[in-house]
Structure 1
Amino acid sequence: MEFSHDLPMHPLPQETPYIVRRFWGIVHRKLLRLSRLYCRWHGIPFDGQIMQLPFGLILKWSDGTRSEEVLAMEAARRAGMPVPRVICYGEQPDSPHAPVSILMTRLPGRELGRVYEDLGVVERDAILNEMNAYLSSMRQWKSPWGRERICSSSGTSIRSVRVPFTKMGPFETEDQMNDYLLFPAGHDAYDTEEDYPSLKKEIEKLFSDKHRIVYTHGDLKHHNILIHEGHVSGFIDWESAGWYPEYWEFTTALRFQREDFWWYDFVVRLGGHRYTVYRDAERALIALTGGWCVGW
């Protein structure tokens, strides 16, 4: 399916019945063994979280993989984005930290971070424009959960490397989310009493503004963008996708980046320039909460 700027968010597919997911979970455990043999035969390093398989398939069974990721992938793929096709997903009740496994197609290409320095200006601009089109399009999608609710694609809690224990919500309003993020500040996590007023004032720049709630990939990193023949061939790892405040996509991607690193400039040009004013607020939030909002 060709990508179109004007495609709305398609209705999410219904979740596969539990008994079917359990069946596929058992099958996936067998595929884990097959992946070991396949990698050994082809001289490929075995990865126990992203497992290579024959016939152009991958089994993802990693920490935090959830059914919400499947629904997000389906929504993005139906909109024409270069996202793996989900074959099936399985329930893994004996693996609480990796409760879901996903069998999907393998996409061509290499990670953007591995090829960027070898790309020409024309190719870099083409990739930037393609990524801008994807992000701009999905930020226009209308949420089926209401204009203010902060949640996953399916209305449940959201997963993000940026939050404690990587999980929070859902929240009915942005104010609820802000209160949650600030909660540890009441536990004397900051260094000195004198730090508190200045840090709190910095955070208020972020929390006092009203933001649109938009659809967000949530883990915008250069290793989640695949490049083939000078174009974006894959936009992967949708486990954090959902409805977030409009700044979240960009401030999460920029929060620990040096300004002299190419990825910083790339994200700024993608749309992050509108939110760089919040970088100090992000750092203040981390300082005020003792790193609680850094993620685990």
Structure 2
Amino acid sequence: MMKLIVWAQDRWSSPYNKSLRYLPFGLCLKIGPRVMANEANALRLVERHTQVPAPQLIGFAKDGLGDGYLLMSRIPGVPVDAVYYRMTYEERAQLTKDLKDHILQYRQIRNTSPYLICNTLGGPTYDHRTDTGDVWGPYRTKDEFTNMLTEGLEDLRDQPPLSALYKKHHRIFFTHSDLHYSNLFIHKGRLCGIVDWECASFKPEYWEFTRAVWSFMADRQREQNYRLAFVENYEEELEAERLIWSKNPVY
């Protein structure tokens, strides 16, 4: 397997992402230091417990230099962000409906770890959204997680809007954690795949929404599309997150 992976690494490349290699027979190889066992396990869980269209895991390996190799099936279609500008209003509405259905499905995946907030293997979570070196946790309580988010804003924790993150009850759900339109694939007007599960983890329920909005902070239309993809209302949490983004910007 490793010999095949190394050989393929030098022969195929992706037009969208240099860490990807599109192989024959409908396969795709993801390579790099950020390719971890957590993503492989996330794909395994999604396939086992849902009907969410995601790459099918073929195999995972890590070399002695720290690079991970994730072999999986290739998703058809194109990234939504490549065609969003020419999608009809009906197609955009359908995309939101499809995304809503998939989110509801993978939220049913259960956490079997002793930690409350963690990656799919019970370990630290990788996420571009925080300024703690991308890796944080795991945490046994929601407050520990929220304290990390609000570090440097201790004097504001007891006041709105940050107090909502502490005082409101939040369920902990399986979360993709990076629903950027580049990770949503569309084919014939329908959402046909969700890719890039490297940040998948168990997090407070609002995180999937606010994390997605963070990806498009200046685009109110896309923000509304994400809002409609959730049954719940997370406006208080979004207001709190906006304050955190302004005080502790992460790029």
Q: CA deviation at 1:182?
A: 3.2
Query: 1:169 aligned to 2:146?
Result: no
CA deviations on 1:85-122 (whole Å, 9 max, x unpaired) are: 12211112313xxx311111111101112223333343
Whole-Å Cα distance in 2 between the matches of residues 177 and 198 of structure 1? Answer: 13
Q: Residue type of the partner of 1:211?
A: H
Cα 1:120/1:31, change in 2 over 3 Å: same
Q: Which moved more, 1:111-120 or 1:255-264?
A: 255-264
Match of 2:65 among 84, 94, 109: 94
1:250 touches 1:275 (CA, 8 Å); kept in 2? yes
Query: 1:156 aligned to 2:120?
Result: no
Residue of structure 1 equivalent to 2:10: 33
Residue of structure 2 equivalent to 1:268: 227
Q: CA deviation at 1:179?
A: 2.3
CA deviations on 1:64-95 (whole Å, 9 max, x unpaired) are: 21101011011112322111112211112313
Whole-Å Cα distance in 2 between the matches of residues 273 and 81 of structure 1? Answer: 20
Whole-Å Cα distance in 1 between the matches of residues 157 and 174 of structure 2? Answer: 32
CA deviations on 1:47-74 (whole Å, 9 max, x unpaired) are: 5301222222211113521101011011
1:158 touches 1:168 (CA, 8 Å); kept in 2? yes
Match of 1:140 among 102, 108, 113: 108
2:52 touches 2:106 (CA, 8 Å); kept in 1? no
Residue of structure 2 equivalent to 1:50: 20
Aligned residues: 249
Residue of structure 2 equivalent to 1:284: 243
1:200 touches 1:284 (CA, 8 Å); kept in 2? no
Q: Residue type of the partner of 2:93?
A: D
1:216-295 → structure 2 map (5 Å cutoff): 216-255=175-214, 257-258=216-217, 260-271=219-230, 274-288=233-247, 290-291=248-249, 294=250
Q: Residue type of the partner of 2:53?
A: P
Query: 1:60 aligned to 2:65?
Result: no
Residue of structure 2 equivalent to 1:109: 77
Query: Root-mean-square deviation (CA), in Å?
Result: 2.6
Residue of structure 1 equivalent to 2:44: 74
Q: Which moved more, 1:204-213 or 1:219-228?
A: 204-213
Whole-Å Cα distance in 1 between the matches of residues 157 and 204 of structure 2? Answer: 24
1:159 touches 1:168 (CA, 8 Å); kept in 2? yes
Q: CA deviation at 1:158?
A: 1.1
Once the two structures are aligned, what percentage of the paired residues are identical? 26
Residue 22 of structure 2: SS of its match in structure 1? strand
Q: Residue type of the partner of 1:210?
A: H
Q: CA deviation at 1:135?
A: 0.3
Q: Which has the larger radius of gyration?
A: 1
Residue of structure 2 equivalent to 1:17: none
Whole-Å Cα distance in 1 between the matches of residues 39 and 57 of structure 2? Answer: 10
TM-score, with structure 1 as normaliser = 0.75
Residue of structure 2 equivalent to 1:192: none
Residue 34 of structure 1: SS of its match in structure 2? coil
TM-score, with structure 2 as normaliser = 0.87
Residue 32 of structure 2: SS of its match in structure 1? coil
Whole-Å Cα distance in 1 between the matches of residues 157 and 41 of structure 2? Answer: 42
Cα 1:63/1:262, change in 2 over 3 Å: farther
Q: Gaps (5+ residues) in structure 1?
A: 1-23, 187-195
Whole-Å Cα distance in 2 between the matches of residues 264 and 92 of structure 1? Answer: 40
Residue of structure 1 equivalent to 2:92: 124
Q: CA deviation at 1:208?
A: 2.4
Higher helix share: 1
Q: Residue type of the partner of 1:31?
A: A
Query: 1:83 aligned to 2:54?
Result: yes
